[in-house]
Amino acid sequence: MLAVKAIRVMTYHVHRCRGGDGRTDPERIAEVIRQSAPDLVALQDVNSEEDPGQLAYLAEQLGMQSFGQSCTGGNALLSLIPLKGVQEYRLAKAGCCQRADIDLAGQRLFLYNLRLDTGFYHYRQQVRALFGPELLGRHSAQCPQLVIGDFADPLAAALLFNWAGSMRRTPTPFWSATYPARLPLLDRDRGYMRGGLRILDCSVLHSSLAREASTHLPISFTVQMADPRLYLRLGGLKNRRMEIAPG
């Protein structure tokens, strides 16, 4: 068997490092991230007008490289693994997306760090832009792609992302709600994928510190590339009536 590398990816809306108690404390956010020990963190709503250096502080405390503009309330990536082609895109209204390429087991994984805005009309515009030629529509549907972040409206996300043959929801724990952190009722923070990916594990961190550090709970995924030899083995099954899902 070939050794296939897996990485642990976290998505975390940090609310400008301001917790449910109204206190801004980047160190609490750093400690929450340490509790899950991710290889890569997709942050949303980082840096505040009062503290524009939150991203730099988190990167230094965690020993990770940061990717993102030092703007107020933006998206950013913290990573222990090399990233290529990092770009930022504005979607309709307040929606934004950050794209990065990851070399995983010798294959390219396209990662999208997403933050959508509420309101169904603007939401639909944001999703249309996401699936446009600059982002998800840029690559073949067979290219491994992982979209994680704050999807704002769980119902709208379920309606607009589950287009036939497009994206599939990542596996989730039994209780996947992440918002509001103190009493989570909505699974705003989630993931979608397509192509040859496997999610080996998915978990929401419910520690007492996580419930206080931000208004969202972080969710982590252990991601692995599907073995490409699987597709070769299926070549002899053309006359069999069955559907193969590489994830």
Distance CA 75, CA 133 (A): 21
pLDDT, residue 245, reads 40
79-95 in b/e form (b: 16+ CB < 10 A) is beeebeebebbebbeeb
Distance CA 99, CA 85 (A): 7
Q: How many domains does the chain have?
A: 1
pLDDT, residue 71, reads 82
pLDDT, residue 120, reads 80
Distance CA 45, CA 189 (A): 13
**DSSP annotation of 45:** E
Domain for residue 241, yes or no? no
Domain extent for 39: 7-231
Distance CA 158, CA 169 (A): 9
pLDDT, residue 105, reads 81
pLDDT, residue 235, reads 40
Which residues on adjacent β-strands are paired with residue 43?
12, 76
Domain for residue 237, yes or no? no
Domain for residue 74, yes or no? yes
**pLDDT tens across the length of the chain (247 residues):** 344 589 999 999 999 999 999 999 999 999 999 999 999 999 999 999 999 999 999 999 999 999 998 789 999 999 999 999 999 999 988 899 999 999 988 889 999 999 999 888 889 899 999 999 999 988 665 689 999 999 999 988 988 887 645 789 999 999 999 999 999 999 999 999 999 899 999 999 999 999 999 999 999 999 998 865 543 343 443 444 434 444 4
Domain for residue 115, yes or no? yes
Domain for residue 22, yes or no? yes
Domain for residue 34, yes or no? yes
Which residue in the block uniquely carries the two structure tokens 């446009």? 132
Angle (nearest 5°) at CA 6 between 217 and 39: 45
pLDDT, residue 233, reads 41
Helix and strand numbers, DSSP H then E, in the chain = 6, 12
pLDDT, residue 241, reads 44
Which residues on adjacent β-strands are paired with residue 76?
43
Domain for residue 180, yes or no? yes
What's the CATH code of the domain at 206?
3.60.10.10
pLDDT, residue 227, reads 67
- CA 10 to mean position of chain CA atoms: 7
